A and B are shown apart, each in its own frame.
Chain A
Amino acid sequence: MRFNRDSALAVALVSPSILAVAIFVYGFIAWSARVSLSAWKGLLPDYTWAGLSNYAGLLADPRFHIDVRNTLLFTTLFVGGCLVLGLGLAILLDQGLRGEGFFRTIFLFPMAISFIVTGVVWRWLMNPAQGSRLSGLNLLFDNLGLDFLINSWHTTRDWGIAAIAIPAIWQMSGYTMALYLGGLRAIPDEVREAARVDGASELQVYWHIILPLLRPITLSAMVILGHISLKVFDLIVAVAGKQLPLDVPAIYMWTTTFDGNFYGRGAAIGMMLLLSVAALVIPYLIYTTRNEAQL
């Protein structure tokens, strides 16, 4: 009797949250999908059916091509950079050196600050001015005699987006390090010892034993970093404002919707972002919840 009443209470306690998520996540996604199929262009909502024309428009749109290319390039550099740097730092910190806690704190602190703060600071570090107006990192390179490193950062023709990956890696590689360090700590010492007894060199131990054991962590990190990368917005805006060479879908969505009032197209960009994130995250969610069920 009491049990039944409590079951009803349990449902009652979670239903506001479930309802809120149902509306704000799934309801709004459906609503966005509807807008993306409409001809809404202007301040007032207009749900005139337009079929897939907004999507077709995007696929034929040179600006969207720039966005896709920039996103792919940025994602490759950002995810790759974070994985390599994070793994390298985690392995270094796993050697039992003195001062590990200090280094870990330093490597991870950028995670605590916003992309906007990061962007504002890196905007001045990556100042592209040349000649006598040299400043930021370029000036530092010049003073250190590393002139060959002087470059025009995010204003480099065609490759500017690659420079944006630097502050992004600065901000997120510590997180990847923390993930890997957790994974390394979970590997029992006996595993390494056994390999060493068998005559494996330290490098072989890492390559053949440790790295394969860290694969699930790499997968998690790729999914998390990948979905952050697809959504990148604040960082670019803070470093460089909204410029066409550095355009990405999230910025295009923003300008076309809220500056240009082209709601139909904005919603279509939002839906395409959602589809690409879903393609990345849903298999991962299924994979992890299935593993959990097996436990």
Chain B
Amino acid sequence: MNMSRGRYWLYIPLFLMTLFYLVPMFIMLNTSFKSFSEVSLQTMWNLPSGLHFDNFKEAYTKLAPHLWNSIKLVIPASLISAMLGSINGFVLAKWKFRGSDVIFPLILFGMFIPYQSVLIPLVQFMRSIDLYGGLPGLILTHVIYGLPITTLTFRNYYAGVPTELIEAARIDGAGLLRTYWDILLPLSIPSFVVVLIWQFTAAWNDFLFAVVLTSPENWPITVALNNMAGSQIIAWNVQMAGAFLAAVPTLLVYLFLGRYFLRGLLAGALKG
């Protein structure tokens, strides 16, 4: 009944919307693969004469150091905030202490604040501890402002683990750390994947913190790309190839780990 013939018209809006979502992707790749001689804006929609890599080469020479900065930034930022989030989530879900129910929503609110309301103190603070301009300060910033979402994800996950399991471990003489290490941690590998993907994507795609806190040689890819796009000298075709290079890592993560990616997205809106 569901697949009766009359329902095939439903594919029409679906295909039209597919075009809407794919057109920017198409134009980005279409342009990137053209040779320098065929990149006129007026022939934007014509297919390339073959697969040329001029644009990618040019974009890569300009952006390579910044791609590396991004990699050096996102790996520690996501690992550290995932570890801390896991410990916080464990304590807040299973080892409640006085005031922990008040503290949790207070931490959560940090996820929503517009960072413009902390930007000036953040810069002053980073200057005062000499972390302004470089990557360590940006990593620290991502770790701390990532804590609300990582704590939330892990807390919701651990809340679903039966308390009897913890009680049983306690009767067997396991303390808090042993319970965490032997029981909760192995159970939470899927949550780690979710949180790591989320933090990786957030840090890779961030622009605001990076543009405020880093000096040009430490710019991650987003800031470098935006700077490239704003300049009059660098041709639009090179910008397109650069945009593609900047998008590839998170797109790959999405394509291969999409299920976990989606779970991370929903964690922010719905409760586990």
Q: Is the CB of B105 within 8 A of A285?
A: yes
Residues in A whose Cβ lies below 8 Å from that of B230? 241
Closest to B84 in A: A17
Q: Is the CB of A106 within 8 A of B119?
A: no
B240 contacts the other chain (CB 8 A):
yes
CB distance from A250 to the nearest CB of B (A): 6
Q: Is the CB of A114 within 8 A of B22?
A: no
Q: Is the CB of A112 within 8 A of B251?
A: yes
Q: Give the docked Cα–Cα distance between A268 and B74 (Å).
A: 31
CB distance from B193 to the nearest CB of A (A): 15
Q: Is the CB of B45 within 8 A of A7?
A: no
* B226-248 to A contact mask, C-beta < 8 Å, 1/0: 10011000001001101100110
CB-contact partner of B246 in A117, A167, A230, under 8 A: A117
CB distance from A95 to the nearest CB of B (A): 6
CB-contact partner of A95 in B7, B97, B242, under 8 A: B7
* B76-101 to A contact mask, C-beta < 8 Å, 1/0: 00000000100110011001010000
Q: Is the CB of B271 within 8 A of A178?
A: no
Tell me the chain A residues, 250-268 only, with Cβ under 8 Å from chain B: 250, 253-254, 257-258, 263, 266-267
CB-contact partner of A227 in B112, B208, B236, B242, under 8 A: B112
B177 contacts the other chain (CB 8 A):
yes
Closest to B250 in A: A112
Closest to B111 in A: A281
Q: Give the docked Cα–Cα distance between A187 and B103 (Å).
A: 33
Q: Is the CB of B204 within 8 A of A114?
A: yes
Closest to A221 in B: B269
Q: Is the CB of B21 within 8 A of A174?
A: yes
Q: Give the docked Cα–Cα distance between A18 and B225 (Å).
A: 35
B113 contacts the other chain (CB 8 A):
yes
Q: Which 8 A-B pairs have the closest CB atoms?
A: A114-B205, A112-B254, A28-B118, A274-B117, A135-B41, A31-B121, A270-B117, A28-B121
**A-B contact sample (11 more), CB < 8 A, given A116-B222, A289-B105:** A11-B97, A13-B91, A14-B91, A25-B113, A28-B125, A32-B118, A35-B121, A111-B261, A117-B243, A120-B242, A270-B114
A residues at B contact (CB < 8 Å) = 2-3, 5-7, 9-11, 13-14, 16-18, 20-21, 24-29, 31-32, 35, 45, 85, 88-89, 92-93, 95-98, 103, 105-125, 127, 129, 132-136, 139-140, 143, 167, 170, 174-175, 178-179, 182, 220-221, 224, 227, 230-231, 233-234, 237-238, 241, 249-250, 253-254, 257-258, 263, 266-267, 269-271, 273-274, 277-278, 281-282, 285, 288-289, 292
